[in-house]
Amino acid sequence: MQAEFGEHAGEEELELYSMGRLEGAQLEAIEEHLLVCASCQDRLEDTDIYVRAARAATTKLAAEPPQKSPGFLGRFRAFALSYEPVLITVAVAVVVIGVYWIARPSQERLNPPMAVVVLETVRGESTAATVSRDSRPLLRIDVSELAPSSSYRVELVNAQGDTIWPTDATPSGGKLSVPVGTTLAVGRYWVRLYSPASDRTLLREYELRAE
């Protein structure tokens, strides 16, 4: 079972978040999305850079002593100070759109979308889950029925028995969220859940297929 993170943060939301103007449920929603979406994280970094640059330029203009005759530059400075938020938004939008269209192919290759893969057991036996070969799996494992533990060992193993992604995971609300930092070639895989490193007891094993 899988669900794609199809709803990415909009440009306006990222701009407002970068400027610290989001609050309440909207702020919580975008922060939760940014935790698992590398694409939006990269876009936010670009937005932060240009917001800081625009603010620095505006601050520099404000700090300069006024000229005796305002002239064209003086009128432009007054206009810029009066409409700082609007200018920042327009500047960021223009730059982000340009960067997006130039870098879009390479960004998609470097940061493929993440897909949630829910690993389940039915009457003690695992059922095969699937994930697209173009997505990075975000494994979700229910550990509420296991003996409580502060952490678990999770290993992703290919059909040849080679471990390709080992990690330690901490449960939250009786569930583990384990992001895999790479796409998978088409084939059959196994997700193995172990007790903490000191015990190394295999607790569960799930089948995962990349298609």
| pLDDT tens-place string over residues 154-176 | 999 999 999 999 999 999 999 99
4: confidence class by pLDDT, cuts 50, 70, 90 = very low
Query: 30 lies in which domain range?
Result: 2-110
Same domain? For 60 and 141 the reply is no
Domain end among 62, 85, 110: 110
Same domain? For 26 and 51 the reply is yes
Number of alpha carbons in the 13 Å side-chain half-sphere of residue 121 = 16
Same domain? For 176 and 190 the reply is yes
What is the DSSP pairing of strand 125-126 with strand 163-169?
unpaired
The whole-model pTM stands at 0.47
Same domain? For 106 and 118 the reply is no
* Both structure tokens of 30: 């975008």
Same domain? For 54 and 81 the reply is yes
Q: How far is it, in rounded angstroms, from Cα 133 to Cα 184? A: 5
Give Cβ neighbours of residue 19 (< 8 Å, ≥ 6 apart).
51, 85, 88
Please report where in the chains the tokens 């999305």 appear, as a residue.
33
Count of domains forming the chain:
2
Same domain? For 14 and 70 the reply is yes
Domain end among 110, 144, 174: 110
The SS3 assignment for 123 reads coil
> Given strand 2-4, what is the order of strands in its sheet?
2-4, 114-119, 136-142, 175-179
Same domain? For 101 and 8 the reply is yes
Same domain? For 135 and 94 the reply is no
Q: How far is it, in rounded angstroms, from Cα 185 to Cα 199? A: 31
